[in-house]
């Protein structure tokens, strides 16, 4: 094999490679011999067909097979002999090949940058330990009590006001046609609680039992991704009854209803739930601080093709967000030129962090175990009840899908490894303070994580009491497909 380096520029190298025809023909003859030993061809005993017959029958397919393996093997040999570490799949372009002649092709290789050693001890981070406040526990208890309210009919007949519960039947129409999910019977709606879409509840204020009201509303844009988004609707409502909420007293009996031994044990469960949930947010904040510091400390050249590919993916997401009116508020109104410049910088950060984390992982022999992959697959499968087996089979048979799971797992292992080695200061913080810091972080541009972990997932920091109730054994309130969400009539 003859190799001529035709270009060497930064992290790109180009070669002209020539593989002698004799090498290719030798490979073809060996493969024909292998195939011939097991071939059954009419007119010949098994394995006894002459080479000329084998060449006539199998020649074209074997030549294509050998051409492919020759390109692969010669490329691997070139990279190995020259100690080159490609950052992406090398580009191969066959420039000349005919049967009986030499194979000539050009090879373009994008190289990994020289990152060097990473000094973990110089990295300073803050790890936040959340201490649940009494106010947070009290708020959660109050929410739990409201979720478990009952109601009773008002004895006096009067007009509905804010805070009342109206018992209604309704039929919704768009363009004079009823639509799926737009009808409800015996629906309890607390006025002012914003259970339904904006404007619905306000129009029922002043209504009296026995009256009919016409409610005109417009569904919000991107309303749950449904076909109702942005549509004007008319609801014919019948007000059947006014009711008032009966909020249960927060005591041992209330705790028992939720499956706890006492009010103290319920409070402890809430405290643990708060601190566990916020520890996840705390970890995300530490990770963000780490990535920011790594980005500042390590500034090396990134492979141009890898960067171009990353930017293309990022830009596609930006355009999709703009198309669906989900662009980050600070990006609205910016020119394409400004946006491209901004997201090219973000893409470069992601690629650099991805390469750096990959380098740390490989240098310290970190890897994703099969057990971790199995757990990730099962976690995804559990999110699709009734289709678990299909989900598992999809991941088992799809290497690309497996990689989509492996990347974030690998990144988290590397991040955890670095955090354990770094100079970390423990700080106590209240949930309110941590929530404020995280919400401030989430105002930063999207997609600033590494290219290993892919896009940043914006996590809601608003805890729902229902998650605590579920843990403590109570039932979650039922949701419907009505204009927003509703609660069936409660018992007296």
Is the CATH number 3.30.70.1050 carried by domain 2-110?
Answer: yes
Name the nearest CA neighbour of 421 among 290, 284, 282. Answer: 290
Q: Where are the domains of the chain?
A: 2-110, 150-246+475-488, 257-461
CB neighbour list of residue 111: distance below 8 Å, 6 or more residues apart: 11, 12, 13, 84, 85, 86, 87, 303
Query: Facing residues of 12 across strands?
Result: 9, 110
- Residue pLDDT tens, the chain, 492 long: 999 999 998 899 999 999 999 999 899 888 888 877 777 777 776 777 777 777 777 878 888 899 999 999 999 999 999 999 998 899 999 999 888 899 999 999 999 998 888 888 889 999 888 888 888 899 999 999 998 988 899 988 899 999 899 999 999 999 999 998 899 999 999 998 888 989 999 999 999 999 999 999 999 887 765 688 889 999 999 999 999 989 999 999 999 999 999 999 999 999 999 888 888 888 888 999 999 999 999 989 999 999 999 999 999 999 998 888 788 888 888 999 999 999 999 999 999 999 999 999 999 999 999 999 999 999 999 998 888 899 999 999 998 899 999 999 999 999 999 999 999 999 888 877 877 877 776 655 444 555 555 534 444 434 434 444 444 444 433 333 456 543 333 333
CA distance linking residue 340 with residue 329, whole number of Å: 16
CA distance linking residue 128 with residue 279, whole number of Å: 8
CA distance linking residue 103 with residue 97, whole number of Å: 5
CA distance linking residue 181 with residue 174, whole number of Å: 12
- CATH number for the domain running over 150-246+475-488: 3.10.50.40
**Which 3 state secondary structure label does DSSP give 55?**
helix
Asked if 238 and 204 count as a contact pair (C-beta separation under 8 A), the reply is no
Query: Facing residues of 106 across strands?
Result: 16, 93
Strands 165-174 and 177-190: antiparallel
Q: Is 38 exposed, middle or buried (0-12, 13-18, 19+ CB in 10 A)?
A: exposed
- CATH number for the domain running over 257-461: 1.10.3120.10
């Amino acid at each position: 094999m003859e190799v001529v380096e035709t270009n060497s520029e930064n992290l790109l190298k180009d070669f002209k490679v020539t593989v002698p025809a004799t090498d290719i023909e030798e490979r073809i003859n060996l493969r024909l011999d292998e195939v011939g030993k097991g071939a059954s061809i009419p007119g010949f005993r098994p394995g006894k067909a002459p080479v000329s017959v084998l060449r006539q029958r199998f020649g074209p397919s074997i030549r294509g097979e050998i051409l492919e393996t020759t390109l692969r093997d010669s490329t691997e040999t070139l990279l190995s002999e020259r100690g080159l570490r490609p950052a992406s799949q090398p580009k191969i372009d066959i420039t000349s090949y005919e049967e009986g002649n030499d194979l000539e092709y050009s090879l373009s290789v994008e190289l990994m940058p020289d990152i060097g050693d990473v000094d973990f001890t110089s990295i300073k981070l803050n790890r936040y330990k959340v201490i649940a406040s009494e106010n947070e526990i009290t708020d959660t208890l109050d929410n739990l009590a409201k979720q478990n309210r009952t109601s009773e009919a008002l004895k006096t007949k009067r007009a509905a006001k804010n805070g009342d519960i109206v018992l209604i039947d309704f039929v919704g129409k768009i363009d004079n046609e009823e639509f799926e999910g737009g009808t409800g019977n015996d629906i309890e709606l607390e006025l002012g609680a914003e259970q339904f879409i904006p404007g619905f509840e306000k129009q029922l204020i002043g209504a009296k039992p026995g009256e009919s009201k016409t409610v005109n509303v417009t569904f919000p844009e991107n309303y749950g991704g449904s076909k109702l988004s942005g549509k004007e609707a008319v609801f014919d409502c019948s007000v059947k009854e006014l009711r008032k909420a009966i909020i249960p007293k927060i005591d041992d009996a209330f705790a028992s209803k939720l499956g706890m031994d006492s009010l103290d044990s319920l409070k402890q469960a809430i405290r643990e739930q708060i601190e566990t949930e916020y520890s996840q947010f705390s970890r995300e904040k530490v990770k963000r601080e780490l990535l920011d510091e790594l980005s500042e400390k390590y500034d090396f050249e990134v492979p141009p093709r890898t960067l171009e590919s990353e930017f293309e993916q990022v830009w596609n997401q930006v355009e999709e967000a703009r198309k669906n009116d989900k662009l980050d508020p600070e990006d609205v109104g910016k020119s394409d030129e400004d946006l491209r410049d901004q997201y090219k910088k973000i893409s470069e950060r992601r690629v650099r962090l991805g390469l750096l984390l990959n380098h740390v992982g490989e240098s310290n022999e970190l890897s994703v175990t099969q057990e971790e992959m199995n757990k990730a697959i099962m976690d995804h499968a559990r999110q699709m009840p009734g289709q678990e087996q299909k989900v598992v089979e999809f991941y088992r048979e799809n290497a690309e899908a497996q990689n989509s799971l492996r990347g974030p797992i690998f990144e988290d292992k590397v991040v955890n490894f670095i955090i354990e080695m770094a100079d970390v200061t423990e700080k106590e913080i209240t949930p309110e303070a941590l929530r404020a810091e995280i919400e401030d972080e989430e105002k930063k541009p999207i997609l600033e994580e590494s290219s290993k972990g892919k896009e940043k997932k914006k996590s809601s920091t608003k805890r729902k009491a229902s998650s605590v109730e579920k843990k403590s054994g109570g039932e979650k309130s039922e949701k419907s497909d009505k204009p927003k969400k509703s609660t069936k009539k409660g018992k007296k």
